[in-house]
Structure 1
Amino acid sequence: MIRPKFAFLVISLVCFAQGISQEIPPIQNFSPSDYHAESQNWDLDQGDDKVIYVANNRGLLEYNGAKWTLYPSPNESIIRSLKIVGDRIYTGCYMEFGYWERNKFNVLEYTSLSSNLSDTILEDEEFWQILDFGERMVFQSHYRIYTYNLETNTASIIKSEAFIPKAFPIENTVYFQKLNEGVFKIENGQELLVLADEILQSEEIINLFQENGSLVFLTRNKGFYKFEDNSLSKWETEASPLLDQISLYSGARLSNGNLALGTISHGLILMDSEGTIIQHIDQLKGLQNNTVLSLFEDLENNIWLGLDVGVTSVNATSPYHVYLDREGLVGSVYAAAVTNDILYLGTNQGLFYKTLTNDSDFTFMEGTEGQVWSLENIHGTLFCGHHNGTFIIQNTSISKIDGTQGTWKIGTLDNHPNRLIQGNYDGLYTLEKRNGNWELRNKINGFDNSSRQFEVFDNNIFVNHEYKGLYKLQLDDAFENVVQLHIDETIKSSNSGIVKYQDELIYGYKNGVLKYDWDNDKFNKDSFLSPLFEHDEYVSGKLINDAANNRLWTFTNSSIGYVSKDGLDGTPQINQIPLSEDMRDGIIGYESVEPISNGMYLIGARSGYFTIDLNAIQDQEFEVQLDKIALAGKNTGLTNDSLLELTNAGDFDSDHNNLTVSFHAASYKKFQRPYYQYKLENIYDNWSNWSLDHEVTFENLPPGNYSFKVRAKVGDNLSKNTASYSFKIARPWYKSNLFILLYIISGVLGSIAIHSSYRRYYHRKQKKIIERNKRELELAKANSEKEIVKLKNQQLKDEFKSKSNELAASTMSIIKKNELLAKIKNQLVSDVEDKNSVKHIVNVIDKNLNQNDDWEMFKEAFNNADRKFLKKLKKAHPNLSPNDIRLCAYLRLNLSSKEIAPMFNISPRSVEIKRYRLRKKMDLQHDENLVDYILKL
């Protein structure tokens, strides 16, 4: 059987969960793996520089908006409490309390105060609360309260036998509770009982604060109590039934008077000053854990939760609120509409609705299962473009228009209030209102392409097909047929979009924004809107016309933008909301924006949606600060041994030319992340690209003077300052002034030596060139002489040839003459009977044949042709007779015996005998040829 008390708790929680808003402010969760420490976090505070500090099981955590840093506790125990006063961070842990201060390297160092106590700290004593009272600090444990004088380093102690849960600063003094005794305060160093009501004795007090002169007590299990007019009574609020059934662990009063309650097992509860519940955020709605150990409101009104597991920041005053569909109830939101105080969501799972006047969750509209593409409020009728066709929505009921499947969009037709046009998967259709009901009229013939995006201008319809291009259709007056069709394939692009805005046709795609020129029937680039898609900003060309507020919405990689005419002169201006694509988690190409109320917009996401209150967006003032600067090597980060002073300019030697700089802007808005931009003057004088990186390393810097500068921005809002750090890298020893002077002297001496060496070198080279030229001249001369000799030899050869020819001709002439004379003689002798009558002639012929004149002529010619032969012959064979020499000359000419015979006027036989005798005189061997021998001489 279920106990009544437990049943009431369940019912209360169910009613409570249904009675709160489903849209929650942005939440940032930091898990132990993010901050690299233990899970439990017992206290939180913030310094004047906006840096957040957390008391963790492992030590003191520091978070500057860019990174977490852990400082281990002084005795390796759990830090239970902390309080920041000026530049000091006071902490309390196991048997130890003291403060942390930054050294010259911007690193926290710990100083113990408890070590100065004359009184001994209790065994196993832990300090759970720290209060600030100017020159006195109060450290509270469960059985003592130490009031420490910072000027004298002495402490007064309030000791208690009873358990002290917490201490509270009220009216410049300390209030505290002793369980089973009541509420006390400290006056003149002594405890004084204030209230001893039974509820304040038995019930642990979580928080205590003043309100209009009354004391308000927040208890762990019984809710709120007020002490006013000397009477304690329960403060009954809307949350009282719930607070009576759950347990609280922490509570805080916010700067706007609201209350934040941290529960043991139900997450965070936010209440207004009247006790009305504003928000309930638990693990189902985004917290890491339902046990809230500590609460803190920072300078930007973010609520920080120290959880049993992790740290969470809730942007309570953010202009953004998120509906997270963690259970997959709604799905991806493609369209939204508000009619009659009902919010409709068109998703991939169907149509959902909820009433805006209460905080109930969404209800599914039966019969709309499947993909919803669009919701259009036209002439007071809400149309739903659905995968299954077209629906009309009336409050919480629907009716379907009979017709084709797959409706992308429904639009109006100019001058035809009773007709509508709709784009479907297979083209365009018209609807007509007959007898008060909308019906499908006809399909437009001549066009069968998918028509997800279209705009109507009289009888002209522009249809954007992201894969084929932009179609321009001209229809007949009945809107039944396409009269003319033109497609522009030059401007097609994935996720492109068209929209009719202020009677202009605008097309957005990856190369910018185009505006249609009706006079020239073409698109021209719009210089005002196109910069939105520059520098890798394009993700979607979807453009949405908010006609009710005269705004044109765009979506880029780093922001959502809208064009409005908010200025006094009506000049259009682009307003950018710094919501990057990864943060808004949009459905690219199917983005949706729907106005809900004045300045409030709903924007669809892949899982649920988020809202933006344009009126609540404010420029955030912030500063960028240098965090750490260190000398570093290649691929090494910041280390304690290499840290540098931030306040003084750096002066480094040449070996220390690698520098790592980290910086931060303490901004904790989830949807407003800081981006950084830096430059290093004297080497990188241009600002870097904006980036989330909060650390930069410069390697192998050359000698010189440098100034590092960094600035930040959140959205379009620049940081108030530009942080800077100047430093100098000295020249290496071999580039110092002394060595430069030595280099100059060495250079001069070296130049002289080199000059002298070159002179000697060129002198030797010149001498070698002269000698080479001389040899070349001699060689040329020798070659010339050789050529002359060659020419002379050739000339001699030619002369010898000529002489030889002459000699041969002369010899042949003599031979022919002698043969003729011999023939004449023989005929005279043989044919003439009177011998005496021809005797005289025969004698003349004999004389002519025997005379030596022919030989002398031959000898002279032979000597001219072959002068050396006769000398060699005489030298080799001095015993030869003139006739022998004559025979050798004839043989030298390679004449036969028959040819030689007329020369001697003898017979060939006699010539053979002469040749034989000549061989004997020359003493030739039997096998040796006489002619060959003579030719070789």
Structure 2
Amino acid sequence: MSFSFQNRVKQVGLYCLLSLIALLFTDNHLFGQENNSFKGLPFISNYGPETYKAGIQNWDIIQDDKGLIYVANNMGLLVFDGRAWTRYGLNNTKVRSAHFGKDGKIYVGSQADFGFITPDQRGQLLYTSLADSLPDEVRDFDETWKVYEIEDKIYFCTFKRIYVYDGNSIDIIQPDSRLEISFQVDNLLYTFQMESGLSVLKGTQFELVRNGDFFKEKRIANVLNYEKGSLLIATVEYGAFLYNNGSINPFQFKGDFWRNDYLINYSTRLRNGNIAIGTQNAGLFIVEKNGELVLHLDKESGLMDLTINYIYEDINGGLWLAMNNGVARVDLNSPFTFIDDRMGLSGSGYTALLQDDVVYLGTNNGLFKWENGKINFVGGTSGQVYTIQELNGKVLVGHHNGTFIVEGGKARKVFDENGAWTFKSPPGQPNLVIQGNYTGLFLFEWKNGSLEFKQKIKGFSESSRILEFDGDKLWIAHGYKGVFKLEFNENFTEVISSKRYDSRSGFPSDVLINVFKISNQLIFTADRGFYRFNETEDKFEPSVEYGDVLTKQTTMVDMESDELGNIYYIEQNKLGVLKLQANNKFENHSSSFNKIRSYWNDDLANVIVLDNHNILIGGKQGFIHYSPEKDIPRTVQPKILFKEIINSGKKDSLIFSGHENDKHPLEAIQDQKFKYSQNSFSFEFVSPHYESGREVLYQYKLENYDENWS
């Protein structure tokens, strides 16, 4: 007996569906410059030699049409698919440069060699040296530092010569003097010669550009388009210059962030117009076209190395850094950034408040003030902060050690009782403040602009972390006892009625019950969905609130709405936003939030809407900042690639090894037939969706065998 593959491996029955994470990710290029005053540091993925199993130094980075990343490394060419690294030795030479050709080949330059990589019929990459075919008299070069493609010809740039490959033969450009690094700008090839300056290739000869001798002995790091007719020329030791038909002027860095002793290794123009600069000794700088600093990353902000040899912007706007010690990816387009100890904030995030142009941040280590881009600790507030609220124009802080008021940037303790959870003013009584505490409720009053303690409210002594008024009645959710409804006397000094509602009152259990006020309406949640209070029956019953967008088993931990009616929420294992649509219905957006599942603080999990553009999520380390404008659904789903297909039985054989091109497509295996004794197959697949890291989830289904998706 025998059987064969169907039309394509897809029809064999393996369908891979990338779910949850990858369906939403961002494309920042749709937006202009944004206000970075309350943005954190971007996600940085560092890959050290112990991870990719090769040399420490990396020199070049490219991406192919499948999304795979290739890195020129001291021990060969590295390939990264988002999950695993593979190294190709390429004649055991140090690879210095790489280029993904229009013909689908990977062109590489290395020590005393250059050539290309293509897959064989089984999808395994094979290297073909072009330099080996050169005559001996022009084979004596040392390094191929750059590979470019201009008008369907490949230029292999060494310090002795430039070799031009047209797909069949190699022509040689022999300069009059030694070359340094060469640069491609549009369809022009520039080169730097220490003895003469900056030259451009005209035919088969290099000619000095007008006033190009200005750069004599000024080693050039890169040449870029700046604006029509102008080039931005970055030098290693002398900063950057604007060049326009012989006119040369220094490029001005605005502010005091740039120092003359910073050495530039590489620069590139990003798709949004910004300029990225990689240095030898100060990490990565991103500046606007006018020289203003957008972002500076160094070791203190998360990079594993300060020396950046090359910068590559991938198809999703992520920046890959080839470093002297490792590789990094900076996720510039993510809607999420980190606010943590790298910015001066210590501890786990619990609460925050925006007042005017100041953000107050509360962690288990105290209160912090974020103003003018700097985060500073507010003295005297060491310890657990539970809440930061603005009442009567003042900033109140609920703290394990008591109650504080913030005035003039300083915190003053106004009440010593431990365990201040939260504050609420009774409806129609703005001069009164009720504080929920470890041991019940406490009453405060505003006098002459200051908050003064009046008394402990009599008649209730349960821990009161979550409070919401419904008219003159106060609902208090308790972590494991249910929810309480309280009524007060006229001056709120005593609870005159208290009733507890729990599993005997319609809730599925006594635990995980919460109450939130959304759009001026009380929302009760439990460990299985939403509930509403039936006042006539004096009990709770299941509610269909948000039932069309959330499952019945939803267990809400926190909910908060913005001014636009969108509702941010945290479930026990999920974060998201219910976006209000034009028809007044909600759409649930949660896929992109899966990226931060492992980072958010699951102790008193919290989401804080500072304003419509700045959302904070309490993190295990500090906070996670979310920018709604940068969270744009993509219509094109990420690609899913077969990494390996193996046929097993009496003997194992490799059918496909991950790489295909027009000459050797995956369809080439469709007509293969196999004996019944070889009826076992294994499929390994991957999606190069780097911004999701290891949070990518898959589903699969074998047609004519599986009824449902995995």
TM bucket (normalised to shorter chain) is 0.7 to 0.9
Which residue of 1 is the match for residue 341 of structure 2? 325
Deviations 1:403-426 (A, max 9, x none): 633210001211222212110011
1:98 is the counterpart of 2:122: no
Counterparts of 1:610 and 1:206 in 2: how far apart (Å)?
36
Secondary structure of 1:55 counterpart:
strand
Secondary structure of 1:579 counterpart:
helix
- Displacement, 1:640? 7.5
Secondary structure of 1:369 counterpart:
coil
Counterparts of 2:93 and 2:656 in 1: how far apart (Å)?
25
Deviations 1:119-166 (A, max 9, x none): 54444611010010133111111222112222x41222324542x231
User: Contact 2:529 / 2:554 at 8 angstroms: preserved in 1?
Assistant: no
1:108 is the counterpart of 2:125: yes
Residues 373 and 549 (structure 1), Cα distance of their counterparts in 2 relative to 1, 3 Å cut: farther
User: Contact 1:517 / 1:524 at 8 angstroms: preserved in 2?
Assistant: yes
Which residue of 1 is the match for residue 666 of structure 2? 646
Deviations 1:156-215 (A, max 9, x none): 2324542x2311123523110111221122212122122565551112101012332023
1:488 is the counterpart of 2:508: no
User: Contact 2:183 / 2:222 at 8 angstroms: preserved in 1?
Assistant: yes
Which residue of 1 is the match for residue 697 of structure 2? 675
Which residue of 2 is the match for residue 153 of structure 1? 169
Using the size of structure 1 for normalisation, the TM-score is 0.66
Which residue of 2 is the match for residue 880 of structure 1? none
Mapping of 1:828-907 within 5 angstroms?
none
Deviations 1:867-905 (A, max 9, x none): xxxxxxxxxxxxxxxxxxxxxxxxxxxxxxxxxxxxxxx
Q: 1:434 aligns with which of 443, 447, 452?
A: 447
Counterparts of 1:630 and 1:301 in 2: how far apart (Å)?
31
- Displacement, 1:22? 7.3
1:129 is the counterpart of 2:146: yes
Which residue of 1 is the match for residue 681 of structure 2? 659
Which residue of 1 is the match for residue 475 of structure 2? 462
- Whichever residue aligns with residue 565 of structure 2, its letter is N
- Displacement, 1:235? 2.1
1:298 is the counterpart of 2:318: no
Which residue of 2 is the match for residue 687 of structure 1? 709
Name the structure where strand makes up a greater proportion of residues.
2
Secondary structure of 1:580 counterpart:
helix
Deviations 1:362-384 (A, max 9, x none): 11112222211101122432211
User: Contact 2:438 / 2:464 at 8 angstroms: preserved in 1?
Assistant: yes
Which residue of 1 is the match for residue 519 of structure 2? 502
Q: 1:521 aligns with which of 538, 543, 565?
A: 538
For structure 2, which runs of at least 5 residues remain unmatched after alignment? 1-35, 660-664
Counterparts of 2:247 and 2:673 in 1: how far apart (Å)?
69
- Displacement, 1:530? 6.2
- Displacement, 1:575? 3.0
Query: Matched residues, percent identical?
Result: 28
User: Contact 2:434 / 2:444 at 8 angstroms: preserved in 1?
Assistant: yes
Which residue of 2 is the match for residue 545 of structure 1? 560
Which residue of 2 is the match for residue 568 of structure 1? 582
Deviations 1:59-78 (A, max 9, x none): 222222233222221x1111
User: Contact 2:69 / 2:79 at 8 angstroms: preserved in 1?
Assistant: yes
Counterparts of 1:676 and 1:641 in 2: how far apart (Å)?
20
- Displacement, 1:394? 2.9
Secondary structure of 1:615 counterpart:
helix
Counterparts of 1:535 and 1:459 in 2: how far apart (Å)?
31
Secondary structure of 1:590 counterpart:
coil
Secondary structure of 2:209 counterpart:
strand
- Whichever residue aligns with residue 37 of structure 1, its letter is A
Residues 21 and 84 (structure 1), Cα distance of their counterparts in 2 relative to 1, 3 Å cut: farther
- Whichever residue aligns with residue 680 of structure 1, its letter is L
1:27 is the counterpart of 2:27: no
Residues 537 and 638 (structure 1), Cα distance of their counterparts in 2 relative to 1, 3 Å cut: farther
1:593 is the counterpart of 2:613: no
User: Contact 2:644 / 2:656 at 8 angstroms: preserved in 1?
Assistant: no
Which residue of 1 is the match for residue 200 of structure 2? 185
Counterparts of 2:549 and 2:602 in 1: how far apart (Å)?
16
Q: 1:476 aligns with which of 481, 489, 510?
A: 489
User: Contact 1:512 / 1:531 at 8 angstroms: preserved in 2?
Assistant: no
Which residue of 1 is the match for residue 75 of structure 2? 58
- Displacement, 1:292? 0.8
Residues 324 and 478 (structure 1), Cα distance of their counterparts in 2 relative to 1, 3 Å cut: closer
Counterparts of 1:499 and 1:79 in 2: how far apart (Å)?
59
- Whichever residue aligns with residue 586 of structure 1, its letter is W
- Displacement, 1:587? 2.1
Q: 2:629 aligns with which of 615, 618, 626?
A: 615
Q: 2:280 aligns with which of 264, 274, 277?
A: 264
Residues 598 and 672 (structure 1), Cα distance of their counterparts in 2 relative to 1, 3 Å cut: farther
- Displacement, 1:680? 0.3
- Whichever residue aligns with residue 452 of structure 1, its letter is R
User: Contact 2:486 / 2:497 at 8 angstroms: preserved in 1?
Assistant: yes
Residues 574 and 22 (structure 1), Cα distance of their counterparts in 2 relative to 1, 3 Å cut: closer
User: Contact 2:641 / 2:685 at 8 angstroms: preserved in 1?
Assistant: yes
User: Contact 2:475 / 2:484 at 8 angstroms: preserved in 1?
Assistant: yes
User: Contact 1:510 / 1:533 at 8 angstroms: preserved in 2?
Assistant: no
Which residue of 2 is the match for residue 216 of structure 1? 232
- Displacement, 1:573? 3.5
Name the structure where helix makes up a greater proportion of residues.
1
- Displacement, 1:584? 5.1
Residues 639 and 340 (structure 1), Cα distance of their counterparts in 2 relative to 1, 3 Å cut: same
Residues 516 and 652 (structure 1), Cα distance of their counterparts in 2 relative to 1, 3 Å cut: farther
The runs of at least 4 consecutive aligned structure 1 residues that moved more than 6 Å come to 19-22, 530-533, 640-645
Which residue of 1 is the match for residue 24 of structure 2? none
Which residue of 2 is the match for residue 901 of structure 1? none
Secondary structure of 2:215 counterpart:
helix
User: Contact 1:579 / 1:671 at 8 angstroms: preserved in 2?
Assistant: no
Counterparts of 1:157 and 1:219 in 2: how far apart (Å)?
25
| Count of residues in Structure 1 that have an aligned counterpart in Structure 2 | 660
- Whichever residue aligns with residue 84 of structure 1, its letter is F
Mapping of 1:526-537 within 5 angstroms?
526-529=543-546
Counterparts of 1:82 and 1:666 in 2: how far apart (Å)?
19
RMSD: 2.9
- Whichever residue aligns with residue 477 of structure 2, its letter is N
Which residue of 2 is the match for residue 628 of structure 1? 643
User: Contact 2:463 / 2:478 at 8 angstroms: preserved in 1?
Assistant: yes
- Displacement, 1:557? 5.6
- Whichever residue aligns with residue 601 of structure 2, its letter is I
Counterparts of 1:132 and 1:423 in 2: how far apart (Å)?
68
Using the size of structure 2 for normalisation, the TM-score is 0.86
Counterparts of 2:627 and 2:653 in 1: how far apart (Å)?
41
User: Contact 1:559 / 1:581 at 8 angstroms: preserved in 2?
Assistant: no
User: Contact 1:419 / 1:432 at 8 angstroms: preserved in 2?
Assistant: yes
Counterparts of 2:488 and 2:138 in 1: how far apart (Å)?
92
Counterparts of 2:465 and 2:174 in 1: how far apart (Å)?
76
Residues 557 and 579 (structure 1), Cα distance of their counterparts in 2 relative to 1, 3 Å cut: farther
Counterparts of 1:401 and 1:185 in 2: how far apart (Å)?
72
- Whichever residue aligns with residue 475 of structure 1, its letter is F
Decide which structure has the larger Cα Rg and report it: 1
Comparing both chains, which one has the higher relative contact order based on Cα–Cα distances under 8 Å and sequence gaps of 6 or more?
2
User: Contact 1:77 / 1:94 at 8 angstroms: preserved in 2?
Assistant: yes
- Displacement, 1:44? 0.4
Which residue of 1 is the match for residue 12 of structure 2? none
User: Contact 1:495 / 1:588 at 8 angstroms: preserved in 2?
Assistant: no
Q: Which moves more between the two structures, 330-339 or 121-130?
A: 121-130
Q: 1:279 aligns with which of 290, 295, 299?
A: 295
- Whichever residue aligns with residue 592 of structure 1, its letter is N
Residues 406 and 62 (structure 1), Cα distance of their counterparts in 2 relative to 1, 3 Å cut: same
Which residue of 2 is the match for residue 236 of structure 1? 252
Secondary structure of 1:543 counterpart:
strand
